[in-house]
Amino acid sequence: MRQRKVKNEEERLAEHHQYLIEDPKARKGKWQEVFENGNGIYAEFGCGKGKFIMSLAEQNPNRNYIAIEGRGSIILRALEKATREELKNIVFVKEYIKDVNEYFDCAELTGIYLNFSDPWPKDRHAKRRLTHSRYLDGYREILKKSGCIEFKTDNVDLFLFAINEFECSGLKILESTEDLHSTELEAKQVTTEYEDKFHGEGKKINYCKVQV
Ligand SMILES: C[S@@+](CC[C@H](N)C(=O)[O-])C[C@H]1O[C@@H](n2cnc3c(N)ncnc32)[C@H](O)[C@@H]1O
């Protein structure tokens, strides 16, 4: 995602302290204390400008959401929107996640979303893909029993890689399609920024939902 450098990024991020979790690793095992309502917690890794997860938060007031994005200039856009819309059931984490177990304890999450994750096309970078088995082992631990991972991408190679990793990791594939928008699956109802762009260009959107 191309984004121009934002002036005074740190100060502007700090203006949204009510939404931005300052020390997310210290919240491990204590995420329920952030929301104080006992509702299930769903996280998106690589949320970009946050359209998808903020739409979910608006539509599902009885669920809690954690939007995670490594780039400050991008998450700032999401934070500005959340502040304008006064969303109550979402918080943001500005981190590039390498090891999910550093941030979440066993069974802390009910669901995980991975949307248009960076493909890292070179074989030597495969371990950086958010659907690599290295990450899947972590997701399995931090998800509750029967928790789900939903994955969308326009990239066929990445999709095939992910399906193979899901299967090899013993995750149960509940839904899978190479053309989400030609189906009646619920997942096409809430779209991401990248999804709107690629679907608008006539590209097919690959989607799958797996259960731990
Ligand atoms: C291609 S964009 C997709 C954004 C959004 N999910 C969408 O579908 O419109 C991928 C985003 O994931 C972020 N990202 C990649 N790896 C990440 C990681 N390990 N932790 C947090 N964010 C990450 C990137 O900075 C980028 O903004």
Of the candidates 105, 118, 157, 179, the residue annotated as catalytic is 118
The answer to whether the 35-97 and 117-212 domains have the same CATH topology is yes
Ligand 1 binding pocket includes 115 (Cβ within 6 Å):
yes
pLDDT at residue 112 tops 90: yes
**35-97: which CATH number, 3.40.50.150, 3.90.79.10, 3.40.50.300, 3.40.50.11440?**
3.40.50.150
Summarised one tens digit per residue, pLDDT across range 53-104 is 999 999 999 999 999 999 999 999 999 999 999 999 999 999 999 999 999 9
pLDDT at residue 207 tops 70: yes
Ligand 1 pocket mutation, candidates 21, 45, 139, criterion most atoms within 8 A of CB = 45
Q: Using pLDDT thresholds of 50, 70 and 90, give the confidence band for residue 3.
A: low
**Per residue in 16-47, is it b (16+ CB within 10 Å) or e — as a string?**
beebbbeebeebeeebeeebeeebbbbbbbbb
Enumerate the β-bridge partners of residue 68.
45, 93
Average pLDDT of the residues in 104-126? 98
Average pLDDT of the residues in 3-11? 79
Q: Which fold has domain 117-212?
A: Rossmann fold (3.40.50)
What is the three-class DSSP state of 134?
A: helix
* CA distance linking residue 129 with residue 134, whole number of Å: 9
Ligand 1 pocket mutation, candidates 69, 79, 125, 132, criterion most atoms within 8 A of CB = 69
Query: What are the structural domain ranges in the chain?
Result: 35-97, 117-212
Cβ(107)–Cβ(70) under 8 Å?
no
Average pLDDT of the residues in 179-197? 98
- Three-state SS string across 51-88, please? HHHHHHHHHCCCCEEEEECCCHHHHHHHHHHHHHHCCC
Minimum CA distance residue for ligand 1 atom 4: 48
* CA distance linking residue 61 with residue 83, whole number of Å: 16
pLDDT of residue 6: 76
* CA distance linking residue 66 with residue 18, whole number of Å: 13
Phi, psi of 14 (to 5 degrees): -65, -25
Would you call 137 a catalytic residue per the annotation?
Answer: no
Phi, psi of 85 (to 5 degrees): -90, 0
* CA distance linking residue 199 with residue 55, whole number of Å: 18
